[in-house]
Structure 1
Amino acid sequence: MTESTETTDKRSLRRAFVASLSGTTLEYYDFAAYSVAAATLFGKLFFPSGDSLAGTMAAFSTYAVGYLARPLGGFVFGRLGDVLGRKKVLVYTLLLAGVATFLIGILPTHAAIGGWAPALLVLLRFAQGVGVGGEWGGAVLLSSEFGDPNKRGFWASAAQIGPPAGNLLANGVIALLAATIPTAAFESWGWRIAFLLSALLVLFGLWLRTKLEETPVFKKIAEQGEKPKAPLTEVFKHEPRALIAGILVRICPDVLYSLFTVFVLTYMTSELGMSRSQGLTAVMIGSAFQLFLMPAAGALSDRVNRRTMYLVGTIAAAVWPFVFFPMASTRSYLAIAVGMVVALAIHALLYGPQAALITEQFSERLRYTGSSLAYTLAGVLGGAVAPLVFTALLASYGSWVVVALYVVVTAVATGIGVALSRKAPEETIVVPSETVEALR
């Protein structure tokens, strides 16, 4: 390889890393802004009723819609990513999620247009979910397929940094708005600014992605004429174990993240009587630590057994809620902030190497489809229903213990997924059996 070629490859790799990071940051900024608004505002703005708990439950239902829409994005964009290429599809997913978020920022509330308001909110939330469902698999491949396969844990973590970065950005913007705008004004129009700002992130992300080349792995598949014609069918028919393992390993981390970035906000305000800003600040502190812990965990998984490391993180996830909630009951802000940092550090230990763990379960030619399906279907089983389940359990039993036990159940499911997962295969193009027979 010549010096100029090597320089070009390194430049492409850096661009891919930044494009993957920026795209998922935008997508999760959108998602996090909605999550915070659902936990603190949308109940009374779009689902007014005399019962504040019922309003919160309704708002969390639209939160779940975003997760329920993800499999559609995974099905549609995952297939296109394996057929048309990573780059083109990632432009479409970025536009879809960004436009939907901007429109939420100008959506009239229930007081202005009645029942149309929650209906349109659900529709836009659905569009957000479809975009995110198609984004993750491609963003992971964008960075990891430009990099060294032996360092897949680190390079694939670019997409994993997006959720804490987007969460930090969204919480920071909303916290700043809430602190600088009077409460009445913030609840009337101030919250909209956080959603409208997504337009700037979309423009930046599009600028980056349109400058990228297609990944070397997809180029190789295309040159050999091995692009799949029916990737969805092939994944379900030939790689079902990989799909099941990919789904299960995501469930516990998703539930843990929903617990400590969404439900805890409601718990702090409704059960502990603490302010909204205190909860948002605690989430921001934890997310800030994740910005560094995600790539560190991904890099560590390249040096040690990735599956063993993931299992250790899963056990820690099952234990920590039993430590956190007694700490939170003291109503000490320092204790809650420390508890949040530890919780999100455990999540980083899982989420950092997760992209590499999931993508390496699938053959290269089916990797976008398989990874997207695993990611999105797990979201339905894990993150989609988690805030609703947490809220319902707390309302029914009045105790955090059942909430913690629910996390334990999801940890068992993820442990099974780790047991089913396989070691990273060699980076070779998998040729369909029909082609092999024809060559014979």
Structure 2
Amino acid sequence: MTPVPSPGAPEPTPDATPAGPGAPSHVTTRTPKKAAIAAWVGSALEYYDFVIYGTAASLIFPKIFFPEGNPAAATVASLATFGVGYVARPVGSFLLGHIGDKLGRKKVLIFTLLLMGVSTFLVGCLPTYQSIGMLAPVLLVVLRLLQGLSAAGEQAGANSMSFEHAPDHRRGFFTSWTLSGTQGGQVLAPAIFLPLAALLSEDQLLSWGWRIPFFLSAVVVVVGFVIRRTLDETPAFESEVESQAVPRTPLSVLLRDHWRAVLRVMFAAFVAMVNTLYTVFALAFATKDTYGVGFSSTFMLWVAIISNLVAIAVIPFWGSVSDRVGRKPVFLGGLAGSAVLAAAYVAVIASGNQALTAIVGVLLAGIVYSATNAVWPSTYAEYFPTSVRLSGMAIGTQFGFALAGFTPTIAAALLGGSGDGWPKVAGFAVVACAISAIAVATGPRGTHQVPTEELGRRTVRASSPVRTTAVTREASR
């Protein structure tokens, strides 16, 4: 049996790392560190844009984009606009998945960054309900849809890029940087809102202060564009192009030969509801006068910042662990812990205990949920061959993430006007994690040991019984 190097083993020299059997001679360079850094920074900047919308939807938008008189209804409606972005994600996954598998990962990454930045900047330019009436929330929804379209291809593109540049024995570690970057974006967003909330009066915040984080997306676009345009296309994709193995219609190949893997990813992705429950719903539940908990927005934003700072460091660790023990044990452990702690987080918020809220919040988002975030990029990437990898991950995750997008709205409806329905919200979180766990547990085993060039192939070299079995089982699913 061919040994699998440990995560601590020396990496192959990049210039000597072959792209795979039959690759052209000029397709020889892997740049895993550069790809991981580009994925981290791009995802951080992209999700800064995405998360500031969620923060504003919880704290600001109910007061300025919807009619006065019913705060609870305005909160539900505002959170629904957050969920609308997830409606566009499945549509965008088909479009951007096709482009990524047909034209390349780099083109998708640049397009998603520009689209997210422009749409986020324009949110900051919108007039309020008091100025133009119902046209204000309509325009807000349109821009939110564009944000969702962008997000549909961002993580799948970044994951494919880092996965295909990484050495086989460290795919978990290098692809985990995409999600570490996502957590970085979730640090930047509340970090921008905190000083605004502290320095500005409520009238100033509602009239013009809330626009500042959205205008800063212009800086986000410039920085992200400079970084991503210098990154090379992946050797695996270039090899497909050179050998004319790129399918004319990647989506038809995906849905014909890999639909089981798409469904598995979709149900596994239900765990993403933990993130929106934590970042959006919990913020509204803890701070709105309607529910009577009485926490300040500053306190909740600090809990989010600390949790995500912990996650930035922890996620690469979990990714490295998965390179040694496999994706499934880490993924399932994170799911079990997320189910318990997500329910506990809702409960401690309802109790009004700030100390417990902070402790459980950091344990949930910083450590336990980080295990699932660390390994799902490499797990899902190993379900698909190069020719349909980006579209497979994009479509599977975005349909699954649709539940996450509407989790704040569903949870707010379950909670009720007085907040007495929090046990229902806790139960909802447990059920979503259980569905994800079933999808992961019934998936293929040992894919972290399969060489990149063999993943998903229907015919492979019989170099070792273990590898051949793993690949054959993966290809048949």
TM-score normalised by structure 1 residue count: 0.93
Alignment length, in residue pairs? Answer: 431
Give the Cα–Cα distance (whole angstroms) in 1 for the partners of residues 148 and 91 of structure 2.
9
1:204-223 to 2 correspondence within 5 Å? 204-223=223-242
Is the partner of 1:108 in helix, strand or coil?
Answer: coil
Residue 410 (1) aligns with residue 432 (2): yes
Structure 1 equivalent of residue 389 of structure 2 = 367
Give the Cα–Cα distance (whole angstroms) in 1 for the partners of residues 427 and 75 of structure 2.
22
* RMSD after superposition: 2.2
Distance apart, 1:323 and its partner CA: 2.9
Q: Is the 8 A contact 1:29 1:167 kept in 2?
A: yes
Structure 1 equivalent of residue 409 of structure 2 = 388
Give the Cα–Cα distance (whole angstroms) in 2 for the partners of residues 263 and 3 of structure 1.
46
Give the Cα–Cα distance (whole angstroms) in 2 for the partners of residues 72 and 31 of structure 1.
17
Is the partner of 2:50 in helix, strand or coil?
Answer: helix
Give the Cα–Cα distance (whole angstroms) in 2 for the partners of residues 27 and 395 of structure 1.
33
Structure 2 equivalent of residue 68 of structure 1 = 87
Deviations 1:299-353 (A, max 9, x none): 1111112112211211111111343344334533322111110110211011111
Pick aligned residue for 2:160 from 141, 144, 152: 141
Pick aligned residue for 2:342 from 302, 318, 321: 321
Residue 159 (1) aligns with residue 178 (2): yes
Give the Cα–Cα distance (whole angstroms) in 1 for the partners of residues 191 and 151 of structure 2.
21
Q: Is the 8 A contact 2:254 2:392 kept in 1?
A: yes
Structure 2 equivalent of residue 437 of structure 1 = none
Residue 45 (1) aligns with residue 55 (2): no
Pick aligned residue for 1:419 from 441, 444, 452: 441
Q: Is the 8 A contact 1:241 1:420 kept in 2?
A: no
Give the Cα–Cα distance (whole angstroms) in 2 for the partners of residues 360 and 108 of structure 1.
46
Give the Cα–Cα distance (whole angstroms) in 2 for the partners of residues 69 and 83 of structure 1.
21
Distance apart, 1:31 and its partner CA: 1.2
Distance apart, 1:155 and its partner CA: 0.8
Residue 32 (1) aligns with residue 42 (2): no
Q: Is the 8 A contact 2:82 2:144 kept in 1?
A: yes
1:45-124 to 2 correspondence within 5 Å? 45-124=64-143
Pick aligned residue for 1:309 from 319, 330, 333: 330
Give the Cα–Cα distance (whole angstroms) in 2 for the partners of residues 359 and 13 of structure 1.
15
Structure 1 equivalent of residue 284 of structure 2 = 266
Distance apart, 1:26 and its partner CA: 1.6
Per the alignment, do residues 84 and 304 of structure 1 end up closer, same or farther by CA in structure 2, a change over 3 Å counting? same
Deviates more, 1:391-400 or 1:64-73: 391-400
Q: Which amino acid aligns with 1:255?
A: M
Q: Which amino acid aligns with 1:296?
A: F
Q: Hey, which bits of structure 1, 4+ residues long, moved more than 4 A? A: 1-4, 6-11, 429-433
Per the alignment, do residues 431 and 400 of structure 1 end up closer, same or farther by CA in structure 2, a change over 3 Å counting? closer
Distance apart, 1:144 and its partner CA: 1.6
Structure 2 equivalent of residue 291 of structure 1 = 312
Is the partner of 2:166 in helix, strand or coil?
Answer: coil
Q: Is the 8 A contact 1:285 1:337 kept in 2?
A: no
Structure 1 equivalent of residue 471 of structure 2 = none
Deviations 1:53-73 (A, max 9, x none): 110111111101111111122
Per the alignment, do residues 399 and 233 of structure 1 end up closer, same or farther by CA in structure 2, a change over 3 Å counting? same
Is the partner of 2:246 in helix, strand or coil?
Answer: coil
Pick aligned residue for 1:177 from 187, 196, 206: 196
Is the partner of 1:145 in helix, strand or coil?
Answer: helix
Give the Cα–Cα distance (whole angstroms) in 2 for the partners of residues 107 and 93 of structure 1.
22
Structure 2 equivalent of residue 5 of structure 1 = 15
Is the partner of 1:79 in helix, strand or coil?
Answer: helix
Unaligned segments of structure 2, at least 5 residues: 1-10, 18-26, 460-477
Structure 2 equivalent of residue 150 of structure 1 = 169
Give the Cα–Cα distance (whole angstroms) in 2 for the partners of residues 109 and 4 of structure 1.
53
Give the Cα–Cα distance (whole angstroms) in 1 for the partners of residues 148 and 304 of structure 2.
22
Is the partner of 1:385 in helix, strand or coil?
Answer: helix
Residue 128 (1) aligns with residue 147 (2): yes
% identical equivalent positions: 34
Distance apart, 1:12 and its partner CA: 3.2
Give the Cα–Cα distance (whole angstroms) in 2 for the partners of residues 72 and 277 of structure 1.
36
Pick aligned residue for 2:273 from 255, 261, 266: 255
Q: Which has the higher helix share?
A: 1
Give the Cα–Cα distance (whole angstroms) in 2 for the partners of residues 54 and 426 of structure 1.
53
